[in-house]
Chain A
Amino acid sequence: MKLSAEIAQASSGKDILLMTHIVLGYPSFETNKKVIAQMVANGVDLIEMQIPFSEPMADGPVIIKANQDSLLDGTRLADCLNFARQMTETHAIPFLFMTYYNILFKYGIEAFCQRAVEAGIQGFIVPDLPPEEGADYLKYARQYDLAPIQIFAPTSTPERMRFLAEAAGGFIYCVARRGVTGTQTTFNEEFNNYIAQCRASTDMPLAVGFGISNRDDVQALIGKADIAVIGSETIRLVDRQGAAAVGPFIAGLR
Chain B
Amino acid sequence: MKNLNGYYGQWGGAFIPEVLHETFRQLKDFYSKARKDPAFWQEYTDLMATYSCRPTPLTAADNLSRHFGGARIFIKREDLNHTGAHKANNVMGQGLLVKRMGKGRVIAETGAGQHGVATATMAAKFGFKCTIYMGEEDVMRQRPNVFWMEKLGAEVIPVTTGSKTLKDAINAAFRDWVTNMDNTHYCLGTACGPHPFPEMVTWFQSIIGLEAREQIERQFGRPPARVYACVGGGSNAMGVFQGFLDLPEVELVGVEAGGEGLASGRHAARLASRDGSPGVAQGYKTMFLQDDDGQMRTTHSVAAGLDYVGVSPILTDLWEQGRVRFASATDREVMAALELTMTNEGIIPALESSHAFVQAFKEAGDMSPDEAVIINMSGRGDKDIFTIANAFKDPSWQQFIINKGKEYEAER
Measured CB to CB, the residues of A under 8 A from B are 53-58, 60-61, 64-65, 68, 71, 76-77, 100-103, 105-107, 127-130, 132-133, 150-157, 160, 164, 175, 178-180
- Which residues does chain B contribute within 8 Å of A156, judged by CB atoms? 18, 21-22
C-alpha gap A178/B294 in the complex (Å): 28
Do residues A77 and B293 form an inter-chain contact, with CB atoms below 8 A?
yes
Q: Are A101 and B15 in contact, with the CB atoms below 8 A?
A: yes
- Contact assessment for B17 and A127 in the assembled complex, using a CB-CB cutoff below 8 Å: yes
A/B pair count, beta carbons within 8 Å: 112
In the bound assembly, the distance between CA atoms of A68 and B160 in angstroms comes to: 11
Residues of A within 8 A of B283 (CB): 57, 128
A-B contact pairs, 14 of them (CB 8 A): A54-B281, A55-B281, A55-B296, A57-B171, A57-B174, A64-B162, A102-B281, A102-B288, A106-B279, A106-B294, A130-B15, A155-B181, A160-B21, A180-B178
Complex contacts, B162 vs chain A, CB 8 Å? 54-55, 64, 68
- Closest A residue to B279 by CB, please name it: A102
A86 to chain B, nearest CB (A): 19
Q: Is B282 interfacial (CB 8 A cutoff)? A: yes
SS class of chain B's interface: helix, strand, loop or mixed? mixed
Q: In this assembly, does B403 line the interface, its C-beta being within 8 Å of a C-beta of chain A?
A: no
B295 at the interface (CB under 8 A from A): yes
User: Contact: A130 with B16, CB < 8 Å?
Assistant: yes
| Nearest CB of A to B198, in Å | 15
Q: Do residues B17 and A58 form an inter-chain contact, with CB atoms below 8 A? A: yes
B300 to chain A minimum Cβ distance, whole angstroms, is 16
Tell me, yes or no, whether B292 is within 8 Å of chain A by CB.
yes
**Cβ of B175 under 8 Å from chain A:** yes
Interface membership of B167, Cβ < 8 A: yes
| Contact A153 B279, CB 8 Å, known A102-B294, A106-B290 | no
User: B residues touching A (Cβ–Cβ < 8 Å)?
Assistant: 5, 13-23, 161-162, 167, 171, 174-175, 178-181, 277-283, 285, 288, 290, 292-296
Q: Contacts of B18 on A, CB cut-off 8 Å?
A: 127, 130, 150-153, 155-156, 164, 175
* Contact between chains at B19 and A56 (CB < 8 Å): no
Complex: how many Å from CA A133 to CA B282? 14
Closest 5 CB pairs of A and B: A106-B294, A153-B19, A179-B179, A102-B294, A54-B296
* Least distance between A108 CB and chain B CB atoms (Å): 11
What distance in Å separates the Cβ of A133 from its nearest Cβ neighbour in chain B? 5
- CA–CA, A76 to B291, complex, Å? 10
Contact A55 B17 (CB under 8 A): no
Give the distance to chain B from A74, nearest Cβ to Cβ, in Å: 11
Q: Of the candidates A68, A153, A179, which one forms a contact with B161 in the assembled complex, judged by CB atoms under 8 Å apart?
A: A68
Q: Which residues of A contact B22 (CB under 8 A)?
A: 155-157, 160
Across the interface, which residues of B come within 8 angstroms of A107, CB to CB?
Answer: 293-294
- The interface residues of chain A lying within 8 Å CB-to-CB of B296 are 54-55
Nearest chain B CB to A23 CB, angstrom units: 14
- Most B C-beta atoms less than 10 A away, residue of A55, A56, A57, A153: A55
Please determine whether B294 and A105 come into contact, CB atoms closer than 8 angstroms: yes
Given contacts A154-B19, A155-B181, contact A54 B161 (CB under 8 A): no
